[in-house]
Structure 1
């Protein structure tokens, strides 16, 4: 109810300004006794929602995608809102300011966002220290990305440098080779580049290790990526990142902006990618893209996702979204006769 009142005010602000205001508010709130009060109200406690993935115990399958908490500053606050895990980052070896503003755009008619943030973050050393100080009762993943000024041929060493500075504070690690808003990532999505990066990270001890795929990859490139997943015995696949494609159905004026599109417009496409990946590799899939309801999350779970993540849905639905989804999932499980979320994974395959 409070967010319904505040949302029109937030939407009068530039998107990045509004996000910064929400971020700072959550950062302050998590230092107060109010956090435990909100946690009791927003967390949906049920064994039926619990799942074990990548060797980690998740209290529920609904997480926050990378990009929302870039610098590992508000994971406890997000957990108190009912999320079962948080992925921080993308993190690069050195601090980055990202692309010039404006670099984030709302598409309210389409319930989407376009961002070309450019991996702005505080750098691996600072973020690693924050991760070490985190006190959470849910998994925290770290999204690792290539530094802007590093040539693709030097990417393996750059990824390793980042990993080594965040290694002790992460519960799982996601290799981001699919960011559409930073230079040099397209060259990383070929088989040889992926293999070199993953081999270097595994040599450094990175585990559990997942790879994040772009929805814009043609089918042969997806198959190449999945062959790497099998060859190196990776622990999972995140499907998917944002897209540079612009569906003809988009109505918002901001559709002409460059950057990665997320939210409702990519929901069906990302679900199909989840299905495609789940049918071809025997590792957990993290489903991301267009989730703003229990039904959205359930579709990805039935398509093969073990857990799901969201970002854009928070902008349009507000802080009670995780609670709504988790309560709704329990109702959907009852409707379809599943004892648990784990039992529903891949039901449509």
Structure 2
């Protein structure tokens, strides 16, 4: 399950780790960029020191590698000087490696399920960069081409087996439209576009999530969340759920869907192709992620003044209850709130 973030986001480490980690990108009130690393201890999130060194450019997209040894971070200001950095995890210590490729205007990033590919949601129109990972080394592959040279990347998500990649694009930022949703097949290092649909309405896509069952795809646009059914490489619209979403996340068992909305988040329980609304805690959200066991939902809440906090709900059955906040909260400002879905490993 992948969600690929607003400027400023959060990711959860893969469930196979002995501990579960949460990474949050942020900027202080003095415009100092940083990354907050949290480790889960029961119901609590413990803020760790580091990473080492701290980023000097604004952190954007975040992604844990499936084996939990790397945290990739998109850095930069949207210029050609932007780059991405890789932090190596040993226990609770995150240390920056020699990998630091410049020339990529990286926003959201996500690893393929096998960890061999890293998507870079760059600002270049018409394509999306892909890097191949071999151990600690990253090298450029052929970019994934969009059908329109004017199309801008908005969000992407792999199916759980990694054979398909769902990509949302916006044809033109100057002329608002519903955008497009593409299904790409993957064979080795090659991607081929298999199908494309035009999203309804006049609002651009903001986030994409593929349920681990490989059947249901949630697409958040400015006006609604649409649920599509994936059969082979064909997407069929099932239903629309709620309005003005900013993020989407499926639980690891595909049984629940969380949607970032204001003033309160929206929660749905899935049974077959039916999504039923559940009572939701009184907290709005932007980026959100489920823990690997599906028992926790963490999300970023932004106040009217723009300050941020990490909120976590504990799920017991169909009930989501807000837990006490972490003792050490993130810096008071998310880097930004619009544009890019966060990277998710849950």
What is the TM-score of this pair, normalised by structure 2? 0.30
What is the TM-score of this pair, normalised by structure 1? 0.30
Larger % of helix: which? Answer: 1
